Amino acid sequence: MEIKSRITDTRINAENIFIELSYKEYIEIARLITLNNPLQRKRVKSSNTVYSLLRNDLKKGCLVPPIVLALSNDNHQELSEISDEEILNYLSEHKENLIILDGLQRTYTFLDVELELMNSKDEEQLQKFYNHKLRMELYLGINKFGILYRMLTLNTGQTPMSIRHQLEILYKDYLDQNINGINLVSEVDNDSINEIRMYKFNDIIDGFNSYLERNELPIDRFELLNNIKGLEKLSVENHKKDLFKDFLIAYDTFIIKVQELSDGWEFNQSSQEELEVSSRKLDGQPFGRVVFKIFNKSQPITGFGAALGKLKDFNKINDFEEWESKIQNITFNGEFEDWILDLIWHLDKIKVNSKKIGNSQRLYFYWFFRELFNEDSDSYLNLSEAVTNGYQRYRSQME
């Protein structure tokens, strides 16, 4: 393994290292990555012809385009000042943290050819194969967001990865971790999340994705990554910050504030009676029985993400820290239960009438948050107004 060139990418504040290495050295790294990272273990069936061509070419030692990798830890070392030798050592020590930004399918082909040659017991051919050279581009980044941006601009492969998939890969080390007192957990039943400040990792990824895309709907997996609009949005973000973390903390702050305002409110028999008195009988169970259980679901989180993104586009807000201070000024009219029963009632009506309940609920939450955080709206920082006006905006969009 030999470092051939080093350039600091000032756009994303990362060191780009151009390495020449043997197939054998690369395969060792690749095996570790695919073993340790289930998200990078998936492969796709490509055309049989192209596949066999590539396999044969590799046996002969063709030069594949450089495989692009990144080290995804948040190390604050000043990497541009470290020597080549130290870089290589650092790489050796942190192989498990590598992620493949571009070249996953090629990597699989390498592993397949190795297996094929090992099975054929042709030792000579195998050694020849191992000794062929390839090039690797390694981003040593101190910032996840910068890597995300680079991943998105790079990924023009045949079967593109969705933004969502890339987010999962990039932020996987936040899973099962405590971030400022917030817990992100892996896929569990909604019912198992019984604490405030605990969220499903996938829901937060969805929410962050919604922020980036300015769209609360789950993204079609088959949509290509030619999302020019999305890239443009990303390019204006401050790459020095951990946007994902900021997003999570802002949302959590919102829930904490509302939970505080609720003074322990819970949906109970008297809430049901309150609804029936105003001719609003729920068709099924309420969307949630306590504040945090209403808001820790993917529908409000994605609505929040999309709304904030949109407001940022309209220059109504600059960064998440600004949000956090605004959140402290949230209020409501009358009793706390009034606005939250309105919310529950609207969500129930949506459930009864909608063709895709989840999507419709997301859209409603989107309008709710847009009304709540837009200083030009009548509902600015007022939960009661936001619930009602948000519902009207939702209805007019559905018709």
Partner 1 sequence: MAIKDTEVKWNKKMNLKLKVSDENIVNLGEGAFFQEDSSIVFKEMNPIEYTYKIKHLLNVDKIHNENDYMVFTFYNNSFAENDIYQVYDHASSTRIGWTFPLQSLLSNNHDYAHNEHFLPYALVAFKKLIIEEFPNSLIPEVTLDGEYNLGDFYNADETIIMVLNKNQTRDIENFSIINYLPFLYGKGYYADNYNYKSPISCNGKRLNLKVTSEEIRNDEFIIQLFQKLLLQDNHHLVRFYLLYQVIELLIEKVFKKEFSEMLDSLGTDEKTLFQIKEDLGNIAKEKKRINKLFTVYTRKQDIKIRLMESCNEILRSIGRKQFTDPSEALYNVRNLFVHEYRSIPMENHYMIESINDLFEELVIEMTNDLRNLK
- Give the closest residue to 201 by CA, choosing from 234, 175, 227, 235: 175
Nearest CB to partner 1, comparing residues 13 and 105: 105
Q: Which two tokens stand for residue 298?
A: 């993917």
Q: Which is nearer to partner 1, 10 or 48 (CB)?
A: 48
- Taking the complex as a whole, how short is the minimal distance between the CB of residue 49 and partner 1, in angstroms? 9
Of the residues 5, 11, 36, 42, which one makes contact with partner 1 according to CB under 8 A? 42
CB-CB contact of 22 with 132 (8 Å): yes
Among 316, 358, 380, 395, binds partner 1 (CB under 8 A): 358
Give one DSSP letter per residue of 55-121, joined into a string: HHHHHHT--PPPEEEEE-S-----GGGS-HHHHHHHHHHTGGGEEEEE-HHHHHHHHHHHHHHHHHT
Give least dist CB 304 to partner 1, A. Answer: 18
The two tokens of residue 272 are 């049901």
CA distance 260 to 340: 14
The tokens for 396 are 């007019």
Site for partner 1 in 220-249 (CB under 8 A): 221-222
- 37 binds partner 1 per the rule CB under 8 A: no
Which amino acid is it at 369? F
**How many residues bind partner 1, per CB under 8 A?**
30
Q: Does 352 bind partner 1 (CB under 8 A)?
A: yes
Asked if residue 218 binds partner 1 (CB under 8 A), the reply is no
Q: Is the CB of 45 or the CB of 60 nearer to partner 1? A: 45
Please tell me the distance from the alpha carbon of residue 369 to that of residue 108, in angstroms, as a whole number. 44
Closest approach, Cβ 221 to partner 1, in A, equals: 6
Question: Using CB under 8 A, which residues numbered 322 to 351 contact partner 1?
Answer: 351
DSSP state at residue 331: B
283-322 mask for partner 1 (x: CB under 8 A)? xxx-------------------------------------
Contacting range for partner 1; rule: CB under 8 A; set: 66-74, 259-267, 353-361, 379-387: 353-361
Q: How many CB atoms lie within 10 A of CB 127?
A: 11
119 lies in the site for partner 1, by CB under 8 A? no
Query: Pick from 18, 23, 16: which is nearest to 3 by CA?
Result: 18
Residues making contact with partner 1 (CB under 8 A): 42-48, 51-52, 112, 159-162, 165, 190, 221-222, 283-285, 351-358, 361
